[in-house]
Structure 1
Amino acid sequence: MSEQNGPAGSGMEVAVVSGLSGAGRSTAAKCMEDLGWFVVDNLPPELISTMVELGAQARGAITKVAVVMDVRSRAFTDDLSSVIKDLDARGYKPRVLFLEATDAVLVSRFEQVKRSHPMQGDGRLIDGIGAERALLTPLREEADLILDTSALSVHQLRAKIEDAFGTETSTQTKVTVLSFGYKYGLPMDADLVMDVRFLPNPFWIPELRDQTGLDGEVSNYVLGQEGATDFLDRYHELLRLVGAGYRREGKRYLTLAIGCTGGKHRSVALSEALAARMSDEDGMTVKVVHRDLGRE
C-alpha cells in the first residue's frame, strides 16, 4: 500500500473507483468497505471535493474515502477529471482504480442478470458497451491501477483490491472465540460450534464450584483432564485449515463457539486456551467473549 495521500496532517486517503458497467464496481465497493474505507456510491462529481474536505475535518473519524463513479453521472468524464485534478492540487493525491473486462464477458454478465446497459438506449447491448468504453478511455489513461476482471472470480478480485488498498490489520481475519452455556441456548452468530461437555464438570467439585474458567485452579483442572490437550491440538489444527480457506474466500470474520452446560467453567477455560494458541497465527486477530460467565 502506498503512503497516505492527504495533505500534511490530514491523515486522509482518497480513492476513485470507476470502470465499465458489469466489470465489478459493486464488488470493489463492498471490499473497500470491509477494508475500512468510507465508500460513497455515484456522488455527483461536483460534490466529491466537498465530501473529502468534510471527511478531513472529522478529526480522525474518517480517514479513507472511496468514491465509486459510473456513467450515470452526467458530464462524467469532464467533471470527474476536473475533480481529480482539484484534489491533487489540494494535496490529497487520489488513487484511481479502473475496472474493465472484455466485450464478450460483459455481454455474458448482462445477459445473466437480464439487464440493459446504461448507455444502450434503443440500440444493442454491444453498442452500449462500446459507447461506454470510448467515453471512459481518458479516465482509464489516468488510472493508477487497471484491473481486467474477465477471468477473475469474486474472491480473486477481492484479493487484488486488498493487496492495493488494504493494510496488514484490515486484511486479517477477525476471530471471536465465544464461550457459552447450552442451558442458555446456542449463539445465533456462531460459524462453528464445539461441545466440550465430554470433560468432567468442575461444578461438582465443591472447592471449584464458585470459581470460573478464568481462575487458575479451574483452568488447571479442566486442561488436566484426559482428552483436553488432544482436543485443543486437533481443533487448533482443523481451524488452521478452515481459517486459510476463509481467507481465500474473502471471509474476514469468524466466530468460534465453545459450549459447556452453564458457560462458566469448561467452555471458559478452553476458550481462553484456544485463543492463546490462535493468537500466534499470522493473518488473524483473536478476542475472547464469555457470553454466560456472569449468569447463575
Structure 2
Amino acid sequence: MAEDDQAPVVGEMLIVTGMSGAGRSTAANALEDLGWYVVDNLPPQMLKPLLDLTELAAGNLPRVAVVVDVRGRGLFSELPEAMRALRARRPIRVLFLDASDTVLVRRFEAVRRPHPLQGDGTIVDGIRAERARLAPVREDADVIVDTSAMNIHQLATRVGELFAEQGAARHTLTIMSFGFKYGLPPDADVVADMRFLPNPYWNEDLRSLTGEDDAVREVVLAAPGAREFIDSYSAALAPVLEGYQRENKRHSVIAVGCTGGKHRSVATARELAARLSGTPGVAVRLTHRDLGRE
C-alpha cells in the first residue's frame, strides 16, 4: 500500500452529555487530567468537522472528549442524528450524566443560577424540559452515571475508573531532595528531615561526592536508624498514596531534606523512590532540587 493510501490514524472519541447540574464540568476536568483533549460546549453540527480533524492530526489527538449540552439551545436537537452519523464512520462512546430532580434542584439553588431551559418558569420546569429533550440521547448512551449520591471527588474517581488508559497511573508522586539552607520547597505535601543522620560532608573522602554515588549511599544507608526510618516511612506512605487516589488527588510532592541537599537527602530520596515505584496506580519521579549548588 502506498503511503498516501494508508488509512488515517484515528483515536478515541467520547461525547459527554447529560443533565445540567449532574457534573459535566467535573467529568470534563477529570478527563483532561487523564490526558484527554477536551472540547467544551460544542454544537452537534461541529462533531463531524472535529472527527475529521482528529483523523488529519495523524495520531496527535488520540483521545478526544466533547462536552455537548443544552447550552447549545436549538442546536442541541440535532445531537441524536449527529451521534448516528459519527457511529456510522467509526466507534464512539457516549457518557450520560444524570441525577435525581431533587438533587438537581438543590445544586442549582446552592449556586444561585437559573436552569438554562427554565425561561420564565421554575428550576423544576427547566429540569423537566431538559429531561424530555435528552430522552433519546440517554437511550443511546454507552455509559450512564447517576451522580445523585456523589461529590465531585467521587465523580472524578468514577470517570477515572471508566476512561483511564489501561494500566495508567492515577497519581503522580514526585520525590524531591532539597537542602534546608535553601528553604523548604513551597509545593511540598510531606517533608522528611534527614538531618538526624551523620553528615557525609565531614568525611573528606565523601565531601566532593553526592548521594548519587554508591560510596555515599552505602554510608548514609548504613547509619544507625537510616534503614529503620526508610522502612517505616515507606509503610506509612502506603495508605497516604491510596487515600490520594481515592480522593482524586492527581499529584503530590514528598520533599526529603538535609542541610545542603547533596548527600543524605539525595541518597534517601533515591531509596524511597525505589521502594515506592511499585505502588499500584502511582507513577514515581525523582528529582534533586539543590544538587550541584554550592
Q: 1:171: Cα distance to partner?
A: 4.1
Measure, in 1, the Cα distance between the counterparts of 2:165 and 2:69. Answer: 26
Give the drift of 1:169. 4.1
Contact 1:36–1:170 (8 Å) recurs in 2 = no
2:139 pairs, out of 128, 138, 141, with 141
Q: Deviations over 1:110-165 (max 9, x none)?
A: 11111110001101111011000111101011100111111122222222212221
| Equivalent position of 1:261 in the other structure | 259
Correspondence 1:188-199 to 2 at 5 A:
188-199=186-197
Secondary structure (helix, strand or coil) at the match of 2:205 reads helix
Aligned to 1:123: 121
CA distance in 2, matches of 1:24, 1:107: 13
Determine the C-alpha separation between the residues in 1 that align with 2:269 and 2:59. Answer: 34
Matched residue SS, 1:292: coil
Q: What is the alpha-carbon distance in structure 1 between the residues aligned to residue 191 and residue 55 of structure 2?
A: 43
The one-letter amino acid of 1:198's match is F
- Partner residue of 1:37? 36
Q: Tell me the residue number matched to 2:89.
A: 90
Matches within 5 A, 1:102-117: 102-117=100-115
What is residue 157 of structure 1 aligned with on the other side? 155
Q: Is the 8 A contact 1:162 1:171 kept in 2?
A: no
Alpha-carbon distance between aligned partners in 1 of 2:235 and 2:166, rounded to the nearest angstrom: 23
CA–CA distance in 2 between the matches of 1:9 and 1:224? 57
- Partner residue in 2 for 1:3: none
- Matched to 1:173, the amino acid is H
Partner of 1:53: 52
Alignment partner of 2:242: what SS? helix
Letter in 2 for 1:43: L
TM-score under structure 1 length normalisation: 0.94
Matched residues, percent identical? 52
Distance 2:166 2:241 in 1: 16
> After the TM superposition, which residues 198-237 of structure 1 pair with which residues of structure 2 at under 5 Å, given as runs?
198-237=196-235
- Other-structure match for 1:69: 68
* Deviating more after overlay: 186-195 vs 220-229: 186-195
Q: Show the counterpart of 2:23.
A: 24
Gaps of 5+ in 2: 1-5
Counterpart-to-counterpart distance in 2, 1:60 and 1:170: 19
Moved over 4 A (4+): none
AA partner of residue 88 (structure 2): A
| Contact 1:16/1:68 (8 A) holds in 2 | yes
Separation of aligned partners in 1, 2:117 and 2:268: 58
What are the superposed Cα offsets for residues 1-56 of structure 1, whole Å, 9 maximum, x if unpaired?
Answer: xxxxxx96524100000001001101110111111110000012222221222223
Residue aligned with 2:72, SS: coil
- Runs of 5+ unmatched residues, structure 1: 1-6
CA distance in 2, matches of 1:72, 1:269: 55
- Equivalent residues, number: 289
Shift of residue 264, structure 1, vs aligned partner: 0.6
Letter in 2 for 1:193: V
How far apart in 1 are the matches of 2:141 and 2:180?
Answer: 54
